[in-house]
Structure 1
Amino acid sequence: MLQQLGKGVVITGSGAATPTVSLTNQDLSQIVDTSDEWIASRTGIRERRLAVPGQSLCDLASMAGERAIAMAGIAPEDIDLIILATSTADDLFGTASQIQAKIGATKAVAFDLTAACSGFVFALVTGAQFIRNGVYRNVLLIGGDILSRWVDWSDRRTCILFGDGAGAVVMQAVESDIADCDRLLGFEIRSDGTLNHYLNLSYKGEAKELVAGVSINQGTFQPITMNGQEVYRFAVKRVPEVIEKALYRANLTVDQVDWLILHQANQRILDAVAQRLKIPPEKVISNLANYGNTSAASIAIALDEAVRAGKIKPGDIIATAGFGAGLTWGAAIFQWGK
């Protein structure tokens, strides 16, 4: 439930960054047995952006973060906390602190959060708690992934889906004596580890004997594997449920939603969720045709594009939901702007 006293949360800036290099469906047909028609009809994807050699997650995430900070009208030195939602960190120990240094957020503490394609929603909820508790005033939330690092480019079931990118928002505290000043209106987040095997980027190693009687396991992470049919079934059932739960917590109805921004995984999933919720197509934000599935970045990239295009305006109510590996899923209802 929302706090009735204390500090409210407002979302005041957004930003995004994607690589300039594009891999089209036609390009993919030269790598695996597929076609533009086959991919587009099943996923809605036409192209995806790929990070070039030497381009890091820190680079993309920092650019997105700087753009969000600029829109919010504050300086990097004003940021108290940076949360990076990612599954593809440049450094397994974490990348958020590198971003903190790169953008000059000298006063900020920074950490990574991993919840795969649900990462943006999970991080949004996490950042809001620091603000509501009065600990921090300005939080930079970044969702970013370079999934091309971990795609098996010979597997047409997965290589057609994923792209690289980063998106960000700035969340700020607003003094409030009533809950009406809080723009994060409701949320619900879930996990079910019994379904983990449907979508994996797993570690695989081999035993290595160090000395007699002492062995360890060394290896690396393996390319993404996915049971697409099961993930689809999971998403079209669970995502509408969690959005309805978040709306209930926000004391809102579906009719009051101005925009639906789902994790950009598959156009069929977006359409099915909207139909189940009875949300008309003109209220559904979709840009996956141009970027593919950018995991934790996808919601923030779609949000930023819609804001900068003038579609989303201050006061608009947005229902957003992420879903993916874990399996994890979650929804948040928020009002854009102060």
Structure 2
Amino acid sequence: MDFDERLWALASKVGNQREAIQTEEATKNAFIMPFISTILGYDIFNPLEVVPEFSADVGVKKNEKVDYAIMRDGEVQILIECKKSTEPLKIEHASQLFRYFSVTNARIAVLTNGEVYNFYTDLDAPNKMDDKPFLVLDLSDVDETLLPELRKLTKEVFDLDSVISAAEELKYVGAIKREIASQFKDPDEAFVRLFTSRVYEGRFTQDAKAQFTQLVAKATRQFLNEKVNDRLKTALGASDSAPPAEAAPADSVTSEPVAESDLDRDTEIETTLEELEGYQIVKAISCSEVKPERVAQRDAKSYFAVLLDDNNRKPIARLHFNGKKQKYLGTFDADKVETRHPINGLEEIYLHAETIRGTVNHYMD
């Protein structure tokens, strides 16, 4: 598997197992050590590359240790502090990182709970770890624009200078994107007041605040939907002049072969209306090849599966709609290897109609 494939495989594992992990040690074993080894590419059993329970005696409190130090050429390059997966990350958790950052050669510090990885450096003051991360990797909602920068920290292509030079832009662009997402989801008074002042000449009273809070939230949702629909129209218009879905998009990622027991292991499942609508589209496409009653669905914790004959061994497609931002359609080749296609709306499922029909025909043969 390549870098992206390994990351998606780990993200899937975290999504499936997160609720079962209750301790910090279990989080390290299940999520963080695989991240260090399979994503960053360092040998966790080689003390020349990864030092667990790392300590430095100079200038720090006694008996305090950082969970992992990643070494290159005998020097500390990355410090990693871990918390259990069920615990949200706070800067207060990073006290050891702050102290060790100033007394080692490390330029990168990571605070993680196995699902979210906050990457820090020293942009604000030399040799002093910043209070805010320059990169936030959330395995429950992966921002694919960050992957090229994350790849620069891997053992194979380690390029610290390039990461540091891009860190300031990453820090502020990422923070702005997270703030925009937060405001679109739940606008605060300052955000509401900004737009109200542009369209309303009356006083910003409590009644006006209550009214425009709802209106601003509604307007932002409609604006996003309209932008998505415009992109869909452009994509669908382009598909009229080219054979649909003959090849996967360039930014598709491929997972490992289908794990047949995944659906049976998942619990606490919530089926959404959007998943059911997506299922109906896949079913409609498949019905050109088989009778409708043979196309079944099963929801899992991390994805919604469409199956032939309600058989786990015959997956037609998967709907990965549980992420906070990007949605994916999973299609399968003859070897049952899944390819994830980023989609921005249900209509884009039709772009992969030929692949879906081909999968159904393969099972019929």
Give the alignment's TM-score, normalised by structure 1: 0.31
Greater Rg by CA: 2
Which structure dedicates a bigger proportion of its chain to helix?
2
